[in-house]
Chain A
Amino acid sequence: MLLTPEVIAILILDTIFLLFACFAFYISIPIALKWDINSTSAFQYGLEKKAILVATIIKYIFVLKLPLFLFFIFTSDKISGVITGAMCAAGVVNSVDFGLSLFIFKILNLYIFGFWLFLHTEDMKDEKLKFTKLKFTIFIVAFLLLITEIFYEISFFTSLDVDKIVSCCGTLFSAASTSTISFIFDISNPVIVTAFYITFALYLITFFLKKESLFLASNILFFIVSVLSLILFFGTYIYELPTHHCPFCFLQKDYYYVGYALYITLFIGTFIGISGSILSILKPEFSQNYYRTSLIFNILYTLIVSVYPVVFYIRNGVWL
């Protein structure tokens, strides 16, 4: 157990989220089950008001979760100074077995809660409140994911051990590692680079086809391939070290915090692409602007990430 003020802040917020989420969940069940917009019963009017409370609570949680995610990485980075062997957040997160799961849940929840708010905004535009039932059904699932994340996070901080020696990111993200993700290092550089640019090309094609389901799929694919290629290939050019594959170190000052720029553009680009596509499948008259926003951010991501190897090549005349 490591009670630094940063950890306490996260734990306090987790507690608040937990309480509010449980409360919202309790209210959501009748909404998900008994919502009937045509009913004129006092019960239905009550549900309509309660739905607004739940939406407010979710907004509150999401608005705090976004910066808190960065704060979490930052805190883990800071703790890495205390934990033997850890050089950055990666080592700290991986010092417990479920570190990777915690991380995946965190990202997944950001997408889901963000999408929920997106859906909510659309829902509130029409007095028929067509998506309310769907919204609350999604929330019930999102609630379970959130609870899992919070429990992971609490046990993460309570089981952090200053005396335990952990692996640093250098060994975690290497072919020699035995961690759950090491298998990806079997992919060779040319393969992953080609895969990345092909995925990007596919993404561009679906952009011009303007078919939601294809755009949705290409965004998801683009996200996955981007993260993989960042770890396997592009990261090494940011560090200018062929063996350093850590997806966290470039969040630090030494690399001008470029990691934040990368993750934020990738998140916005794919998030808007994914949520926008799903929304326009649900609601055909949904504005098509999301195509462009998604495109801008994904191109921005691709540009930033491509600059590193190109500049390296120009300066040194060789590839890493």
Chain B
Amino acid sequence: MESKINHFMIGFAISSILRRGVKSFFTLFIFTSLIFLLSSILFISNSIKAELGFTLKSLPEITIQKLQAGRHTNIGINRIDKLLEFHGVVSAIPRTWGYYYFEKAGVNFSVVGIDSFDKQYKNSFESFVEDVDFDELSKNSSMIVGVGVKKALNDNYYKDYFNFVKPDGELQKVTIASTFKSSTSLESNDIILMPRDMVLDIFGMNENEATDIVLSVANPEEIPTIIEKIRNLYPDTRVITQNDLRVSYQNIFDYKSGMFLALFIISAFTFFMIVYDKASGLSSEEKKEIGILKAIGWKIDDILKEKFYEAFIISFLAFLSAIILALFFVYTLEAPLIKDIFIGYSRLKPTFDLPFVFDFQTVFLLFFLTIPLYLAAIIIPSWRVASMDADEVMR
């Protein structure tokens, strides 16, 4: 086992790659595409995972919804006092919110009612409710919108106000007071914040109703007991924990990435076949070249080594350029097409930014998913070439 790097051999490998320009370039191109596809998927999924991680942290520990005929309906605010009596419950806050379908843009906005007196259930709102003059909002009937909403409205020429259509068909004009952007864009992008009264008005809801009630608890260990008690007291409710949300998010997400990985496996197999085929189909010139090398003293092992150097150079180039391209594609271009498929519900939600996530684990993973495949594809063809009889050169 030679440990010293043979730079003559590397030089020869490079010149061999250049000599077979078109063929090498073709292999380089498809290998780069494969790694690019895979790294884009991984980068996007890492980003979405990170985003979901943030979101989950800010979600309430327990959410209580009322069900009627198996459907989610509004819940009476009067239940709050009872809930607060449970041991371990720190706070119970009614939330008033809903989806408003904006037909022209084909997207759903999440309209959330805020109340200056209630303790806010989301940290991200809290900070900003402080900066905003709440009284001003209700006096001028105005709202604060997420960047995604702002963009969707702008695109449809609503520069500083928007007309909500109420259930009775009347229009409710609401002016845009300001735009906000929270640390996680996935959750806040499609949000519209406005005073609770106005939300009740727009959705035609009753004064003493809320969409749901969120609880926070002192000790997460007690969550199962609390749920049990709520179920006994109010059999008509559905109780959702942060963990339930996490699992359902995770499931949707794994399903999507599973689909992509299936796609990857198919592409990888195709790639394998193409490389195998390219490596097997040698031109008579290449065959003669191998013959010359063997005749002048190259061992089978030397030729194999040279072939592996070539493979390494091509893999390395492909790996590097694919990762750079993928970083550019995902984080600068915001992954057009792929992101939409990945998020699935994007048609219904305004677009959002992918947070930048890059770690070496992913690079190792990419390495194990791609380079061995390429090497595997060339082993047998290279051996076949290398073990050819060299006496061909004599003719």
Contact = CB atoms under 8 A, between A and B. Distances in A.
Interface of A: 3-6, 8-10, 12-13, 16, 20, 49, 52-53, 56-57, 60, 64, 67-68, 71, 74, 78, 121, 124
Contacts of B1: 121
A131 to B, nearest CB: 16
Interface in B68-106: none
A115 to B, nearest CB: 14
Given A9-B365, A9-B368, A9-B369, A49 B300 contact: yes
Contact of A13 (B304, B361, B368): B368
A49 B368 contact: no
Interface stretch (B109-117, B231-239, B374-382): B374-382
Interface string B377-394: 001100100110000000
Interface stretch (B134-142, B163-171, B253-261): B253-261
Contacts of B383: 52-53, 56
Given A9-B368, A64-B372, 7 more contacts: A13-B368, A16-B372, A49-B300, A49-B387, A53-B383, A71-B368, A124-B301
Contact of B375 (A6, A12, A60): A60
15 contacts: A5-B365, A8-B261, A8-B265, A8-B369, A9-B369, A12-B268, A13-B372, A16-B372, A20-B379, A52-B304, A52-B383, A53-B387, A60-B376, A71-B368, A74-B361
Nearest to B260: A5
Nearest to A124: B301
B18 to A, nearest CB: 25
Nearest to B375: A60
Contacts of B368: 9-10, 13, 67-68, 71
A215 B373 CA distance: 40
A57 to B, nearest CB: 6
A53 B380 contact: yes
Given A8-B369, A9-B365, A60-B376, A3 B254 contact: yes
B8 interface: no
A56 B304 contact: yes
B387 A16 contact: no
A5 B383 CA distance: 31
A52 B387 CA distance: 9
Q: Is the interface of B mostly helix, strand, loop or mixed?
A: helix
Most central of A3, A53, A67, A74 by chain B CB within 10 Å: A53
A49 B261 CA distance: 38
Q: Is the interface of A mostly helix, strand, loop or mixed?
A: helix
Given A56-B304, A71-B364, A71-B368, A5 B257 contact: yes
B372 A3 contact: no
Interface string B298-341: 00110010000000000000000000000000000000000000
B53 to A, nearest CB: 11
Contacts of B373: 12, 16
A38 B257 CA distance: 57
Given A12-B265, A49-B387, A53-B383, A5 B369 contact: yes
A48 to B, nearest CB: 9
A20 B383 CA distance: 14
B37 interface: no
A65 B369 CA distance: 14
A5 B376 contact: no
A3 B264 CA distance: 13
B152 to A, nearest CB: 33
Nearest to B386: A52
Nearest to A54: B383
B42 interface: yes
Interface string B255-275: 001100100010010000000
A8 B42 CA distance: 13
Contacts of B254: 3-4
A87 B361 CA distance: 19
A13 B365 CA distance: 12
B95 to A, nearest CB: 30
Nearest to A163: B247
Contacts of B304: 52, 56
Contacts of B265: 8, 12
Contacts of A121: 1
A3 B258 contact: yes
Interface string B347-381: 00000000000000100110011001101100110
A52 B307 CA distance: 15
Contacts of B376: 16, 20, 60
A53 to B, nearest CB: 5
A64 B308 CA distance: 14
Nearest to B261: A8
Contact of A52 (B45, B261, B300, B361): B300
A12 B365 CA distance: 12
A88 to B, nearest CB: 16
B369 A12 contact: yes
A283 to B, nearest CB: 16
